[in-house]
Structure 1
Amino acid sequence: MAALVDDLSQARMTLETARSGLLAETYRDMAAVEALWRGIESDPGVLGTPYQRFDWVSAFLAGAFAGDDGRQREALRIIVLRDAAGPVRLILPVICRRERGTMVARVVGGSHANFHMPLFASREAAALRGEDVVEALRKAGADAGIDAFVLGYQPRFWDGAANPLAARSEPAASDAYGLSLGPDAEATIRRIFSADARKKLRVKEKKLVEAVGPVAFRVASTPDEVSAFLEAFYRQKATRFAALGIVDPYGSQSVRRFLAQGIDAQGIASVSAGRAIEICALVGERDGRVYATFAGAVDAVRYSGMMTSFDQDPALARFSPGEILLRHLVGYQAGQGRRGFDLGVGEARYKASICDETIELREVSIPVSARGWAVTAHAVAWGRIKRRIKRNPRLMRLLRPLRRKVSGVLSDPS
């Protein structure tokens, strides 16, 4: 690892430390920081989300750049902040793109990552002053040719620790929703699902079985299962988006490469080991038909829901296969020893029905250069507009027909 730190051919190190004593290194090559990154994320004291795992970020880049290493190196910046004594405090991977002539850095993953928090080496590292982290990022940005950082989806708190980047920020348009898992899977299900909800789901599952035959909850553990579950997901989502008149974001080949890589990042040796993303399904035992799917980013202690789908056939949808699958999924994740479970950003009835925690999200905009000030001002203004719309049910109802005609009306203009 010492050799990695000393290899300045792989990094441009800022020559001047921030007043806080933080020193920034900026890398463009994932391989150059792999050992360092994996060492930090495997430490029991690490504080981070599944979306900043090395394997998750690698999978996203593999999808976005399709093996074009030159283009990836042009866009990728991996910022490592150390204290003056040398220990790493945080890692922040960003993608840089020119927007209206200005170089803007955003966290790797975009809207596919529910949380954009840096990977903190420890809780002590997360206790850094927000001003010191921002100052160090500004210095790193100036050295790397970045005009502005636009860092959305920053949890205000994570696993009980404050996120220093959220100290001076704007509320996000939407929050995320989660719950704590217990060591006993059945006890966790009883706590999360009321007696009435459990009874209704048992009745629906029984009626589904009567209609189609035995069904089973399965987490993909073979390449064939991964392929079958993903194909079902793509088919079900395409049907859903077509009905809404919205462009299907999962039709993109880059997104499909990313998901395939993330689910099978290390080759499937076991159900969960070595994966960045897990996908599960409610499957017919007789014919293998997939009635619902759910996929999420994972680390040792958390499952973070990324996407879900269900069969749009009205004769089957009335049995709520997605809700049946969700009940099984919660029990399975508790049984795997994970402590946290979340259903990602945005409001939905199925989230409210089981989640008892609101994960407050913030948006952080950091200007680096004079040109960057205009970008961050625009990001703040646009964020306030989105927040006003999304948190006003009347405005949402009025804009829903327009959103169906113009996909992405509530998304970032970039």
Structure 2
Amino acid sequence: MTTIAAAAYFPDRLSVQSGTGAFTIEIADGLAAAESAWRELERNAVMSPYGRYDWIAHLARNVPPSGEIRVAVLRDAAGRLAVTMPLQVERAFGARVAAAIGGKHVNYNLPLIRSDLFPALTPERTRALLRQIGQALGVDAFAWPNMPTIWHGQPNPFASGGRPSPSDAWSLPLEADGDATLARSMSPEARKKLRNKVRGLAKLGPVSILEGRDPASVDRILDAFFQQKETRFGELGIADPFAEPGMRAFIRAAAIPEGIEAPAIELYGLVCGERIVAVLGGAADPHRLSGMFVSFEQGDAAKFSPGEILVTDVIRLQCARGRSVFDLGVGDARYKRSICDTVEALVDVVVPVTGRGRIYATLHGTAVDLKRRVKASPRAMTMVGRARRIKATLRG
């Protein structure tokens, strides 16, 4: 039987000893209480770019989560950091649930795991650890959407038992040579068409890439991006998610470099003449650039597919900088399939801790299965689109 020792309260942290296994579990109240350990583990962790302290801290600061923030920090018997698990504790279906921070804004969810532990953690041991952490948190269940089943080429033990997410993600393993990478992933016909579009766009004005390296360039790129998205969503008759409270401030804050740290979000703009005709933003770590959003201008440049031109140029840059993976995030789209050659399977993971948590897991699983079936049906998605437009019209 697993026993949890009596809790001892400190000014900003609750420490709990696990009665089994070789880990000490500490529960930090809020992000700041775990910042030092979190940043230390980032240097040698298996993680996604969305797990960086800066990415989550900027999001939580500008788009506060619906629940209380807790961070589980695990140390091994020698006191070395092993796992960092940021969570928001909220109520759902009558249960107290520890959920991933970020929700729909995150393409890939998983805890930070010390790299040498990742292959050693079995699904059984991982579930036992989660139950111990859940008891320490006082929750009924854990919930992670969009959990990758494979990460850094290894099976993800935290994904065991998950249900297929409503959508998978598209990625591209990178080689040192950007052109060789694109030649592998794109058909000769697609590359030829894109070269013709580059020449066509250049007739409208000199073409170049602008990177968000300081407040001025970040603001210039984001001004174009927000305008492009506002125009596009207006044409579709649906609400603009980037107009939600705090979202624009989050993206800007996360995109501006702080000291020696690289920004949590990297921004790229395709400039034609004096205009930014396409924008790409992605969550970034040393290994991967994960596309969060792509936009393009609806004017005369649109017929030359500036968004696709920008994506391929950004891929070349990532290859030159030594990153190993680029992705275009969750969801299917023609341009994703034409550029990325790898489908990354995602699952929604719910781990019950109590009997109430098992009820929550059943209800949540039913909702996920229904959403996946809807997304797989063109007819159903057409109906969803109509409903969204009607809702936006009534709201406006």
Give the TM-score, by structure 1 length.
0.87
Q: Is 242-251 or 196-205 further displaced after alignment?
A: 196-205
Figure out how many residues of one structure are paired with residues of the other and give that number: 385
Please give the secondary structure, in 1, of the residue aligned with 2:253.
helix
| 2:331 pairs with 1:331 | no
Q: Is 82-91 or 169-178 further displaced after alignment?
A: 82-91
Could you tell me how far 1:215 is from its partner in structure 2? 1.8
Aligned partner of 2:16 among 11, 14, 19: 14
| 2:351 pairs with 1:402 | no
| 2:256 pairs with 1:264 | yes
- Please list, as runs of the form range in 1=range in 2, the aligned pairs for 1:307-386 lying within 5 A after superposition: 307-313=293-299, 315-386=300-371
From the superposition, tell whether residues 50 and 378 of structure 1 become closer, same or farther in structure 2 (CA, over 3 Å).
same
For 2:342, give the aligned amino acid: E
From the superposition, tell whether residues 81 and 187 of structure 1 become closer, same or farther in structure 2 (CA, over 3 Å).
same
- Please list, as runs of the form range in 1=range in 2, the aligned pairs for 1:273-288 lying within 5 A after superposition: 273-285=261-273, 287=274
From the superposition, tell whether residues 140 and 174 of structure 1 become closer, same or farther in structure 2 (CA, over 3 Å).
same
Q: Is 390-399 or 357-366 further displaced after alignment?
A: 390-399
Could you tell me how far 1:400 is from its partner in structure 2? 3.2
For 1:231, give the aligned amino acid: D
| 2:42 pairs with 1:77 | no
Note the aligned Cα RMSD (angstroms): 2.2
Percent of counterpart pairs with the same letter?
38
Q: Which residue of 2 aligns with 1:52?
A: 51
Preserved contact between residue 214 and residue 257 of structure 2 (Cα < 8 Å):
no
Preserved contact between residue 41 and residue 53 of structure 1 (Cα < 8 Å):
yes
Could you tell me how far 1:398 is from its partner in structure 2? 4.3
Preserved contact between residue 214 and residue 256 of structure 2 (Cα < 8 Å):
no
Please give the secondary structure, in 1, of the residue aligned with 2:292.
strand
Aligned partner of 2:90 among 86, 94, 97: 97
Could you tell me how far 1:332 is from its partner in structure 2? 0.8
CA distance, structure 1, for counterparts of residue 257 and residue 336 of structure 2? 28
From the superposition, tell whether residues 265 and 375 of structure 1 become closer, same or farther in structure 2 (CA, over 3 Å).
farther
Aligned partner of 1:296 among 267, 279, 282: 282
Q: Is 303-312 or 25-34 further displaced after alignment?
A: 25-34
Could you tell me how far 1:226 is from its partner in structure 2? 0.5
Could you tell me how far 1:220 is from its partner in structure 2? 1.3
Could you tell me how far 1:37 is from its partner in structure 2? 1.6
Q: Deviations over 1:71-96 (max 9, x none)?
A: 99x71111122334433322110112
Q: Which residue of 2 aligns with 1:207?
A: 200
Q: Which residue of 1 aligns with 2:246?
A: 254
Q: Deviations over 1:139-185 (max 9, x none)?
A: 32232232321111110010111111111111111111101111122
Please give the secondary structure, in 2, of the residue aligned with 1:86.
coil
Preserved contact between residue 59 and residue 265 of structure 1 (Cα < 8 Å):
no
For 2:96, give the aligned amino acid: M
CA distance, structure 1, for counterparts of residue 16 and residue 119 of structure 2? 22
Could you tell me how far 1:376 is from its partner in structure 2? 2.0
Preserved contact between residue 96 and residue 140 of structure 2 (Cα < 8 Å):
yes
Preserved contact between residue 17 and residue 23 of structure 1 (Cα < 8 Å):
no
CA distance, structure 2, for counterparts of residue 17 and residue 233 of structure 1? 52
Preserved contact between residue 165 and residue 346 of structure 2 (Cα < 8 Å):
yes
Preserved contact between residue 120 and residue 126 of structure 1 (Cα < 8 Å):
no
From the superposition, tell whether residues 137 and 128 of structure 1 become closer, same or farther in structure 2 (CA, over 3 Å).
same
Please give the secondary structure, in 1, of the residue aligned with 2:372.
helix
Preserved contact between residue 62 and residue 261 of structure 1 (Cα < 8 Å):
no
Preserved contact between residue 174 and residue 346 of structure 1 (Cα < 8 Å):
yes
CA distance, structure 2, for counterparts of residue 108 and residue 388 of structure 1? 25
Structure 2: unaligned runs, 5 residues or longer: 1-7
For 1:195, give the aligned amino acid: P
Please give the secondary structure, in 1, of the residue aligned with 2:63.
helix
Q: Which residue of 2 aligns with 1:234?
A: 226
Preserved contact between residue 148 and residue 346 of structure 2 (Cα < 8 Å):
yes
Could you tell me how far 1:264 is from its partner in structure 2? 1.3
Preserved contact between residue 170 and residue 329 of structure 2 (Cα < 8 Å):
yes
Preserved contact between residue 62 and residue 257 of structure 1 (Cα < 8 Å):
no
Q: Which residue of 2 aligns with 1:410?
A: none
CA distance, structure 2, for counterparts of residue 406 and residue 359 of structure 1? 32
Could you tell me how far 1:11 is from its partner in structure 2? 2.4
From the superposition, tell whether residues 84 and 404 of structure 1 become closer, same or farther in structure 2 (CA, over 3 Å).
farther
Please give the secondary structure, in 2, of the residue aligned with 1:266.
coil
Q: Is 104-113 or 175-184 further displaced after alignment?
A: 104-113
Q: Is 94-103 or 342-351 further displaced after alignment?
A: 94-103
CA distance, structure 1, for counterparts of residue 18 and residue 52 of structure 2? 29
Q: Which residue of 1 aligns with 2:5?
A: none
| 2:157 pairs with 1:164 | yes
Q: Which residue of 2 aligns with 1:25?
A: 26
Could you tell me how far 1:123 is from its partner in structure 2? 4.1
CA distance, structure 2, for counterparts of residue 17 and residue 168 of structure 1? 25
CA distance, structure 2, for counterparts of residue 126 and residue 241 of structure 1? 43
CA distance, structure 2, for counterparts of residue 10 and residue 85 of structure 1? 23
CA distance, structure 2, for counterparts of residue 283 and residue 205 of structure 1? 12
Q: Which residue of 2 aligns with 1:124?
A: 117
For 2:267, give the aligned amino acid: I
Could you tell me how far 1:7 is from its partner in structure 2? 9.3
Aligned partner of 1:192 among 185, 194, 207: 185
Preserved contact between residue 213 and residue 257 of structure 2 (Cα < 8 Å):
no
For 1:94, give the aligned amino acid: L
Preserved contact between residue 150 and residue 379 of structure 1 (Cα < 8 Å):
no
Q: Is 274-283 or 143-152 further displaced after alignment?
A: 143-152
Q: Which residue of 2 aligns with 1:150?
A: 143
